Amino acid sequence: MRKIFILLSLFLLFSCGASKDVVYFQDAPQGTEIKANYRPITFRPGDKLTINVNTRNPNIANKLNLVTMSRQMGTTSSQTSSNNGVMSYTIDKDGNIEMPEVGTIHIAGLTRGQVAEHVEQKLVEKNLVQDAVVIVEFANLSYSILGEVKSPNRYHIDRDEITILDAISQAGDLTIQGQRTNIKVLRKEDNGTQKVYTANLCSLEELQNSPVYYIQQNDIVYVEPNGMRARQSTVNGNNLRSSAFWISLASLLTSVVSIITR
């Protein structure tokens, strides 16, 4: 009986050890303040964005905005942002865009808010419009999430402050087999190099100090499988069919029976 108790205790010990790698923010009691360093998304060459200039004069607005053209009944009509017809700018290799009536604008390294302010200043300097309200939106910015999540995919970035938790939530959260303490994030830096960072969801202190707490464009988030999930993978994708698995299981059961019957 004592030996059975020891076996059960060992089983519970291993189970508790595994559960420690499942619960998020284990070091964060209620009321813990998050102090992550915010890094805003800045534009890079190759990024696309929309710039919508709103002003009281619709004629001026049509000149300043890139608009799509639709043909109806043999005529051509312009569609402005009021019906989602604003086209996007692509930032060239030098970090510039060409804006109608304004010319070349350098926006690489700027945030959405900074681009809007910069465009407004240019419009005033060129005496084009004094009452403009400029709205800048991301057009093609995205991140990818792979591995042990419910919905691995590429997701659109629609706002500035997207955390790694937002990204994981968008993908339906980690599966129970996902490794929560060593999430990999591949990030392309401004200088063109790519670096690998890690994030630990079980520790809020580690997570908020991670450079990947906030997602950047083109980030690739990879959730590794835990040990149990990895052991389930074989050449044919299922070790339940392998002879080694059944031999090991039979050996384990034989040992347990032997201990119990002594």
| Window from 47-51, 54-58, 118-122, 207-211 with minimum mean pLDDT | 54-58
> What pLDDT shows up at residue 230?
60
Distance of CA 77 to the CA centre of its chain: 38
Q: Under a CB-based contact definition with an 8 Å cutoff, are residues 173 and 149 in contact?
A: yes
Q: Indicate the SS3 state at residue 90.
A: strand
Which domain range does residue 246 map to?
232-261
Tokens 């830096």 correspond to: 189
Q: What is the pLDDT of residue 243?
A: 56
Alpha carbon distance 103, 109 (integer Å): 19
Task: State pLDDT tens for residues 5-50.
Answer: 444 444 444 444 445 677 898 988 888 888 888 889 999 999 999 9
Cβ distance 177 to 229 under 8 Å?
Answer: yes
| CATH code, 168 | 3.10.560.10
256 and 178 both lie in a single domain: no
163-211 pLDDT, tens digit each: 999 999 999 999 999 999 999 999 998 888 999 999 999 999 999 999 9
Which CATH number goes with the domain that contains 76?
Answer: 3.30.1950.10
DSSP 42-69: ---TT-EEEEEEE-S-HHHHHHHS-BEE
181 belongs to a structural domain: yes
Q: In this structure, is residue 43 part of a structural domain?
A: no
* pTM confidence score: 0.74
95 and 171 together in one domain: no
Does residue 145 share a domain with residue 210?
A: yes
* Res 62: pLDDT: 85
